[in-house]
Amino acid sequence: MFLLALVLGACSGPVVLHQRPGLTAVYSEGRFTIEWGTAQTREGKPVIAGYITNTRGSGVTNLRVQAQALDAEGQVIDTGTVLQPGYLGGFGRTYFEVPLEKSGPGYRVNVLGWDSARSEE
């Protein structure tokens, strides 16, 4: 059984999911669906990689994604943050990767925020 902790915030609040390595996680909080798993770089460092789907009809820009490695007690031992620049249209999907320096027995993924955008029509 894996530890599952969901933290929901306001519109620009975090989307959070804890997970053990090697499992694929899917989570939806209404605005985004996040599908992610763990991988490794050629150097053996952990990477959290996956897809974020915009579940609404309005677009967003500049998604800010954070991944954290957790120790056995759930304490953060490493954090990585990336900016996904560009436009993610309504009902669109984008790939992301967040490199980390340390691996852990669990991970947490957050959508820290985004900017609202209008579609270019």
Structure letter (DSSP) for residue 92: -
pTM exceeds 0.85 = no
**What superfamily does domain 17-114 belong to in CATH?**
Lipoprotein YajI-like (2.60.40.1620)
Contacts of 17 (CB under 8 A, 6+ apart): 4, 5, 6, 25, 27, 34, 36, 108, 109
Residues 38-81 pLDDT 10s: 998 888 999 999 999 999 999 999 999 999 999 999 999 999 99
